[in-house]
Chain A
């Protein structure tokens, strides 16, 4: 049996589409990488002087691990956009691109001479993507935005943390960055479909704030419907109960969820706790949610009598949703995640990078194998030679 880890390398559904990455830090370059995973030919313009992102801790052989991860699946050319000759080459690349991605502060790309107006003047079919932090006509317009600032400003931090706490941020930042990169990649493909319909390219703007809000749109919907803001609730789900972490005899927590009567029934049988099934406070989905705290205490009393592995084994036999609380080390050694290629080791010139696989499995157009990030600027000659041969064609 062929596992997903050894999928034949394909060309991807977007094969033939050319992407020019003039992004910086995480969001723009990651969006370009996602399009590369889907089969696009991605060229990244890199300033010969490098960028601050390359120095971010932690590094691998001197290069930021974040930079290596965000720049897989692309070729890299050195161009200094403040140099007239290099800017002319950048425009030649943009003339040949289907998609251009930039995420600099508002106005910067215009000052660099690579605005939508100048690019589309000679390439009217270009899908030009910009990602400012905030709306151009809002109170935060023009402000820079880090992932952790957006966690605070978008309300993301206010809805997580210990029960009764003041809110909490993800300690490892960039979840909002990468969510926004996916939104940019979506906009790029929608732009292509729109071009086929209208015959025209388009400048599409995706704000960091907007994509961070959409990620919370389920919580926001509940808030708008009920008028009460979601509160930090530890591990508990706002939708049904039980759905939270429970302590076990071996002092390890496991997650258990039962989202309907049938699953709750199975859970109570595994717990050998018929009293819970008979308890009127827990007699329906709605009652369990309303009495979530009491239910959590009652179940914890049982889970602490046996070790985590026992409960996981028994719950999985009955197909009750449950799972471990993994760490990085558990992921990189887990037989399913490794065996199915969900976690992979990619050799790069800076060392081995552990990362996720491709989240899509296309039956007809499999994604290409992940190509490690190139040394910045190392494809300059090859890309310029391609440009020359394009220019020579009539």
Chain B
């Protein structure tokens, strides 16, 4: 019920989205994540808010963790930090990603503790070495420099980024996989180690499939691998955009095209012998589809997306409507979202999407707590590592920690 990593202690020194997403997956697998947070709060708490409230993003990505508000550069806090490090199974940091120097005490202590079984994880943008290792980048720059923006938008028009945070997720998902793999190795050997993950490398590793496509192809085939086309915005129907296509071995069968033309009242097109033979390859997605798209869309105005999807499915193609967030994740949850268990209740009534394995009753944590307030757990965590009330009050008086009112 408590997740496979129950009993594993994570010291989370991160202050970026990627760092938060990495420790979030550890928390969702049951680890006890202690977030060491600047006294002013992690900047991700403010992302995306045009008001003074803590953002909805923070409510979700900081959930399931405990917060200790502590000034890591203060001499007064160094003994407490050393004890926290000694107590941790996993230490997670992202100083390079934020363009900051790792505090000396932490660098020294983590190096010493790898040998005693600690797993350290470092997140960078472009790696530890090489000409770009000092470059700072956010989600946008990482998408751009890994060529992912090449596959969106249109030449001559303003660039488009992927709407999801694919670089940060690629980094966090690979970091999590690296950490649990190192944990497995520790189970076998008793040894800890450092695993570092560069966000752009994680995104490029995922992008290997399209790099392979461009490597040395037999032929120029355009179609699904061509970045110089107009955007794949789907086809307009009466109610919403729909994507469709006839995917299969070439040459395409001719029947689907004939069926489609008949259903849409475009029989005239069948008089063109070339179209009659190649039509199915000229609709749906890909560069060739652009020629017939206006004709089809004109004929599709009276079709609902449901009917059109059914038509394409019936004649041997594949089709899907562009579903909106309102339809999927709105007050009335889409039944597929409800069934796929991707969404869980957090204590306090909010909901959140968890990793795809987290619904498994033995693997994932089944009870989810809310995001902590800044420093909400400072006293309890410091008590647990042996600090007295007096020592804790002293640290507070020195400005080294924050105790919530």
Contacts and interface: CB of A to CB of B under 8 A. Distances in A.
Given A158-B322, A161-B231, A356 B224 contact: no
Nearest to B223: A57
A319 B181 contact: no
A165 B209 contact: no
Contacts, number: 526
B185 A360 contact: no
Q: Which interface residue of A1, A17, A237 has the most chain B CB atoms within 10 A?
A: A237
Contacts of B324: 155, 158, 229
Interface string A174-202: 11011110110111011111101110001
Contact of A165 (B46, B192, B231, B355): B231
Interface string B321-333: 1111110110000
Interface string B341-372: 11100000011111111011011000000000
Given A220-B325, A316-B135, A165 B233 contact: yes
Contacts of A369: none
B326 A213 contact: no
Contact of B136 (A217, A320, A340): A320
B320 interface: yes
Contact of B174 (A152, A182, A232, A363): A182
A154 B243 CA distance: 13
Contact of A168 (B164, B231, B356): B231
B217 A59 contact: yes
A148 B233 CA distance: 12
Contact of B211 (A158, A160, A354): A354
Contacts of B176: 186
A137 interface: yes
B158 A234 contact: yes
B263 interface: no
Q: Which interface residue of B142, B195, B336 has the most chain A CB atoms within 10 A?
A: B336
Contacts of B247: 146
B159 A356 contact: no
Nearest to B343: A213
A147 B191 CA distance: 39
Interface stretch (A66-74, A102-110, A382-390): A66-74
A259 B323 CA distance: 31
B167 to A, nearest CB: 11
A303 interface: no
B181 A135 contact: no
Interface in A203-255: 204-207, 209-211, 213-226, 229-230, 232-240, 243-245, 247, 253, 255
In the complex, the 7 A-B pairs of residues with the closest C-beta atoms, listed nearest first: A225-B56, A138-B339, A159-B163, A160-B163, A356-B204, A58-B217, A364-B193
7 contacts: A26-B209, A159-B163, A186-B176, A202-B363, A240-B48, A289-B50, A356-B208
Given A233-B163, A325-B159, 9 more contacts: A13-B185, A38-B177, A151-B243, A160-B164, A221-B57, A289-B48, A342-B127, A361-B195, A365-B185
